[in-house]
Structure 1
Amino acid sequence: MVFKARPCKSRWEGLLVTGWILLVDLLLIIWMARRSVDWLQFLLLLLVLISLPVLVHLAWRTWAAWTLEYWVDRNAVTVRWGLVRQIVPLHRIRRVIEGGILELGQGGRLEWPAPYLRRARGLGLLTVDMFATVPLSQCLLLETDEAIFALSPAEPARFLDALQEHYRLGPVRDLPISRQEDAWWLRLLSQEGVGVWLLLGGFVGTILLFGYLMIHFPNLPDALAFHYNSEGLPDVIRAKTALFLLPAIGLLTWLVNGLWGLWMIFRRQRTGAYMLWGGTLIVQICSLLALHSLILNSLNPG
């Protein structure tokens, strides 16, 4: 049986804020597209990129608030939200408490717009895991030996009846208390420390490449010398827009090596993934040095 969580206004607020950020980003992109390449265009690009993690977080928490529900069968109570499943076996539940417990601690700002979908502070020797849309004092609490799970079904009486009915029938199989995630790449990244920093380093390197060029771009001559012969005379001259090839190489390397490295992590080839992600940084450093040299020679031809 499936039971929806009690509705909460924060999910509508999450939709509204997410929509506003999308609208602002769209306006910034339009403004950026209509400008010539300069430091202000890079600043607009930077603002859009900074907003992306905030947008992803808000979208994820809003999705969690909208999809939170509880499945009850003979084996367990399964809490579902987004791509996550929390399994609480029925035979592990010692008792059910119907509210009456004061809030143990307020959720952090990073937990909005699903503030009651979080891990609260301990209650005695146990940890309280909240999978709810209301404060702890209004929740149904499933107490086990490992933790207390706080739920907020929209129909608590029917939920309790279903819980008792399935408990009397007995389990078909023995399940442990566990959490499952359908997004394999999230599971992989959550286990990576060095790998995440290498990926972030590659992303920052890409921003530096584009930023360095865009800031200096208005001061560059329309045509640049890209190569010199043995006598020191330029033999390859191109438009200054050709300089964007170097940041593009850095971006393409980060994307290809990043995805390839994730695939290798999935196949438990961690060393190969680290080599790919580290190689991205080397390519970007070389691209930045080449870009600096070309810009410097163009600004100071003598």
Structure 2
Amino acid sequence: MSRTPVDATLGRWRAAASPGGLIGILIIILSVLGAGGAILVLAGVASVPLPTPVIGVAAVLFTVVAVGAAYLVYGYTTIGYAFGDDVLEIRWAGRRYPIDLASVTYIGPAIEVLEERPGRWQRFWPGYYVGVRQEKVGPVRVVATLPLRRQLLISTDTEHFAISPERPVLFVEEYGRLRRALDAQRTDGFPTVAPGQGAQRLAEAGWTMQYPVIAPGRGPRGEQPEAASATGSYQIAAPGRGVSPLLRPVLLADRVARLFLAMAILLNLLMVGYILLKYDSIPQSITLHWNVNGLPDRIGSPREIWTLPLITGLVTLANFGLAWSIVTFDRFAARFLLGGTCLVQLGAWVALITLIS
């Protein structure tokens, strides 16, 4: 059987919408700001209480992160899935993974086959998952924008792929249509997907027409799924029901996240109290920066110390907002952000004690 040329596709499917692109852009912005700030310090325009070699290393690292994040954001924008007459092609960042439709042995919710590992990090960040998962069925190549419970698994005898097309029910129905056309030319009796069967399989897993949701009984802490009305062989979520994920206090219900957040706030408040306690005893001139030889090269007044709690407070607020927005997609990443905030606070404490002493 001749294979349809890769570029002669019948249907192109975008990946489901997610915050992955926005998070990537935020990483680029922060990295560029970090690299720019480090360069300004090296040029003598600004100063921080850190040795020059450390600033140089930070400038290089921030630059590498910015370039890497830019490439990954480009890759995020290229994620897509394209059908030909007899092939499905998965695309990401110029890479293409063709799957022979006639060789597919399973297509359906990934959660029914793969093991969900809550809190475990997946490349690259929430809303952007590309890499290879090691599962009992073998290596699974993931090119998706949604977490495992909202991914489709496509398996052959030798390969497994996890994807997240924009409209998974219609995607499976399109596969069924193409597969039936292929099977009409076959005489070996290979099983196919009957009309409506793909949609029914997804509906039984608790998916909606637009995107999958957690099935009844699978919700965290026994939550009930949103009401849905049946239409045909699959479900369409009832409009006006439920609360937007951004308005749900999911982050505050996580004990680990609450602990990290409380520690960050406490460290920031203690820093303000410590400065107030020591302020009268701080010399009128304090060293704010040392050169590579360990000699002071910038002197400032005590009021400049207030920059430290201001910066750490802004970092805490920004990371809390980002963690709040991504916790429904990746709980581990939300915890990681808040834990990183605590590390920033501890670093600021070291700088504060160094300045005052």
TM-score if structure 1 supplies the norm length?
0.49
Larger helix proportion of the pair: 1
